[in-house]
Structure 1
Amino acid sequence: MTIPSPPRRSRWISVPFRIILGFVALSLLMVAIYRFVPPPVTLTMLFDANGITKDWTSLDEIDPDMARAAIAGEDGKYCSHHGFDVDAIAKAAIHNASGGRIRGGSTISQQTAKNVFLWQGGGFVRKGLEAWFTMLIEAIWGKRRIMEVYLNVAETGIGTYGVQAGAIRYFHHGADRLSKAEAGRIAAVLPLPKKRAAVAPSGFTRRYGNTIARRIEVVQRDGLDGCLR
């Protein structure tokens, strides 16, 4: 008895399903691997015409004030949210709708997901993928690993990636000996690393770096870095 072949329509339905299933499996595998293995390179690094200078450094070998500076400057609720700061996103949306300088509401987790697995820029597709990878790293990596990867892949200067490479470039010593002022300056550079410099900063970068340096003590005092200890 001859078994009839499936209708052509069902074949077309199975193709996108297989693609989605393959993407989910691949993304889970990549996140699981990077839970233990440092990401060797990112798309941002590959497309950087200025080259790549980086030096992977474990979180234990980075001065704790650097992570506190990142929390103070980028994500004050880092240890209390699950990847997304709803209040910050809402405030950014309201601010951007009113015009003026565009403000982001991304958390450190979202920035890490974007930096490691995706490309720079906007768009609904990239934002959707960013949300997916953010949920995965929050579930599989945990806060310490997310911060460790973030501090190693974030762009800290022209062609410079990670706080170790940034510390050597700007201050001529490793990230294990950063002062509060130096950590604050690197954190102030993170949003616009190609336009700001941590050495002899002026204007907004200097003021913002000093503000972050003062906030480091608040982060430590209030336990806002508790998930990293």
Structure 2
Amino acid sequence: MILVLLLVFVVLPLGLILLYRVVPPPVTPLMLIRLVEGQGLDKDWVPWKEISPHLRQAVVASEDNLFCQHSGFDWQSLEAAAKAYASGERAGGGSTISMQTAKNLFLWPSRSIIRKGLEVPLTAMLEMLWPKRRILEVYLNIAEWGPGIYGIEAAAQHYFKRAAEDLTPRQASQLVAVLPNPLEWRPVPPSDYVARRARVIRTRIRQLGPLLDCVSG
């Protein structure tokens, strides 16, 4: 039994993480779940250099300001989220891009303590074995951007009829603005809330400056 657990929770994930450092992940649990739900599957992998720098900067400005600095975990935000959860309040925030990448690659979409517990060692392995650029590259290529839409290339083509490398700052910010709830929000036409959120993201990009260095080149 111990050997089976080691295989399932250590050896297999470690092997996949090493493989996915150089090979695009073919599918994720979320994609399969949504496919069974009837949402379809539209995805098209693009390498780092074919993703607009505006989009890379926008997602860090929106999702994880300290992405270039931390080792996978924003402990201050995690502590605040844990305290909110313990007191019965809505526990928002705390999840870094590295954590979201680990979750999207290997786990299921839920807020359970079990899933969160599995997310921690997977995130640590990603940070140890992948450079920051690979983490963000994979994240942007497997993230859900709408019903049945996965990866920034499919999203750019679907919403703006253009390649991911050609996204403007405004288009990039509108796409990133829907990431917290891609099944309900749309970048085009943006609701008042999405438009406001996109403006905040563009402002934050200018404010972050060198904190975006690892994703700008």
Query: What TM-score do the two structures reach when normalised by structure 2?
Result: 0.92
Equivalent pairs, count:
212
The question of whether the paired residues in 1 share the 8 Å contact of 2:82 and 2:91 is answered with no
Residues 1:206 and 2:195 aligned together: yes
> Could you say what secondary structure the match of 1:223 adopts?
helix
Q: Partner residue of 2:206?
A: 217
Deviation (angstroms), 1:90: 1.9
Match of 2:22 among 31, 36, 39: 36
Deviation (angstroms), 1:99: 5.5
The question of whether the paired residues in 2 share the 8 Å contact of 1:180 and 1:216 is answered with no
Deviation (angstroms), 1:103: 1.2
Q: Partner residue of 2:7?
A: 22
Return the alpha-carbon distance in structure 2 between the equivalents of residues 203 and 102 of structure 1. Answer: 25
Return the alpha-carbon distance in structure 2 between the equivalents of residues 129 and 102 of structure 1. Answer: 18
Percent of aligned positions that are identical? 44
Deviation (angstroms), 1:25: 1.5
Deviation (angstroms), 1:20: 3.2
Structure 2: gaps of 5 or more residues:
none
The question of whether the paired residues in 2 share the 8 Å contact of 1:65 and 1:180 is answered with yes
The question of whether the paired residues in 1 share the 8 Å contact of 2:42 and 2:149 is answered with yes
Residues 1:171 and 2:160 aligned together: yes
The question of whether the paired residues in 1 share the 8 Å contact of 2:103 and 2:119 is answered with yes
Deviation (angstroms), 1:87: 1.1
Return the alpha-carbon distance in structure 2 between the equivalents of residues 75 and 172 of structure 1. Answer: 27
Matches within 5 A, 1:155-194: 155-194=144-183
Bigger drift between 149-158 and 92-101 goes to: 92-101
Return the alpha-carbon distance in structure 2 between the equivalents of residues 104 and 121 of structure 1. Answer: 15
Of structures 1 and 2, the larger Rg is shown by: 1
Q: Give, as a single letter, the amino acid of the residue that structure 1 aligns with 2:166.
A: R
Q: Partner residue of 1:227?
A: 214
Q: Partner residue of 2:76?
A: 87
The question of whether the paired residues in 2 share the 8 Å contact of 1:183 and 1:213 is answered with no
Return the alpha-carbon distance in structure 2 between the equivalents of residues 90 and 203 of structure 1. Answer: 32
